[in-house]
Amino acid sequence: QKGIAEAFRLQVVTSKDQRSPLKQIGDTSFLHVRDKDLYVVAVTKDNADATAIFEVLYALIKIFKLYFVAFDE
């Protein structure tokens, strides 16, 4: 949903003091990893296993870096 993505952008991406890779906005949880200026994000409304999600996010970054010449856009 566009509203959820906009909430993430406003509260995480534009925030200068964001330290936690987990952000709860309403009943939605955002788990994110930042690599340079790119955010890789998982979104859930369930009680998901955060460790498994972060493993997948880091694996995606690794795969994208191998597949794409530059992983920055």
pLDDT tens across 16-29, in order? 776 788 888 888 89
pTM (2 d.p.): 0.78
The answer to whether the CB of 33 falls within 8 A of the CB of 42 is: no
The answer to whether the CB of 32 falls within 8 A of the CB of 4 is: no
Residue 52 has pLDDT above 90, yes or no: yes
Residue 68: its pLDDT value, please? Answer: 84
Residue 22: its pLDDT value, please? Answer: 87
Quote the tokens at residue 12.
């995480």
Cα separation, 72 vs 60, whole angstroms? 13
